[in-house]
């Protein structure tokens, strides 16, 4: 039995689906489902407290058998999904010894990592969602820089979803940089491993391409009237 959603309807318990997963087309649907469940469990650990290591990183314990039961998948499918998530850097597993469940760290893409104050609190007890987003008003919204507007229109690319490019940037790279996708992945890996950031990722990719393919010096085949080739 179902009913229409009205302005007074209390939503039932639900899990958040991170938007960046929509752009990870190479990640299977089972892996995405497993990540959503792990992220929800990590959020609970974050709220309750006491589930963080010496560096302040939140972790969870989730035996494969229990995880497979909760997502209605086979244990083999869950193991494959966990390996895929670990390969793309969305989780980290640390062994705790024979017979003990792995400690699982749920990770977020660098440029999408929101602080607790910026994230909506989505209760699971059927109550209305209460937004605790911290808003900083400048007094004049029209003064926002073109750079910030451009970043909002950009999409995240690369294995680590940290290369920001607008649709216009992508069109330009397709026309000017052969194997532009290889350069996107190269920049993504370099930024992830070094922690460096760049103001304009499209310009950085062009610089990488130009460094790899320096312009050949032009030759002058003209000769004077009294000279021959």
Classify 139 in phi/psi space as left (phi over 0), alpha (psi -120 to 50) or beta: left
Contact 124, 13 (CB under 8 A): yes
- Determine the pLDDT at residue 188: 86
Q: Report the CATH number that the domain containing residue 58 is assigned in CATH.
A: 1.10.10.10
Same domain, 168 and 108: no
* Three-state secondary structure call for residue 163: strand
Q: Provide the residue range defining the domain that includes 42.
A: 20-118
Contact 178, 149 (CB under 8 A): no
Token pair of 201 as six digits: 């990722």
The answer to whether residue 129 sits within a structural domain is no
- Determine the pLDDT at residue 219: 58
For the whole model, what pTM was predicted?
A: 0.49
Mean pLDDT of 101-105: 91
Please state, for a pLDDT cut of 70, what percent of the chain lies above it. 75
Picking from 53, 21, 56, 50, the residue whose alpha carbon sits closest to that of residue 37 is 21
Same domain, 75 and 24: yes
The answer to whether residue 71 sits within a structural domain is yes
Domain count of the fold of the chain? 2
Same domain, 112 and 160: no
- Determine the pLDDT at residue 139: 44
- In angstroms, the CA 41 to CA 73 distance is 18
Same domain, 155 and 86: no
């Amino acid at each position: 039995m179902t009913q229409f959603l009205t302005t007074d309807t209390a939503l039932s318990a639900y899990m958040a689906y991170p938007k960046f997963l929509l752009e990870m087309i190479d990640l299977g649907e089972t892996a995405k489902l497993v990540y959503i469940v792990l992220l929800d469990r990590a959020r609970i650990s974050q709220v309750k407290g006491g589930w963080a290591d010496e560096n302040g990183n939140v972790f969870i314990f989730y035996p494969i058998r229990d995880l497979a039961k909760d997502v209605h998948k086979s244990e083999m499918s869950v193991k494959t999904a966990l390996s895929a998530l670990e390969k793309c850097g969305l989780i980290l597993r640390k062994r705790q010894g024979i017979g003990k469940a792995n400690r699982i760290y749920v990770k977020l893409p660098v440029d999408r990592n929101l602080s607790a104050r910026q994230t909506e609190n989505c209760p699971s007890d059927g109550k209305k969602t209460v937004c605790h987003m911290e808003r900083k008003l400048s007094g004049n919204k029209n003064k926002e820089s073109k750079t910030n507007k451009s970043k909002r229109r950009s999409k995240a690319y690369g294995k680590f979803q940290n290369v920001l490019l607008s649709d216009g940037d992508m069109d330009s790279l397709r026309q000017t940089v052969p194997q532009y996708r290889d350069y996107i992945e190269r920049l993504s890996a370099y930024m992830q491993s070094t922690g460096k950031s760049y103001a304009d990722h499209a310009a950085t990719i062009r610089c990488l391409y130009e460094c790899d393919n320096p312009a050949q010096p032009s030759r002058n085949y003209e000769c004077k009237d009294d000279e021959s080739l």
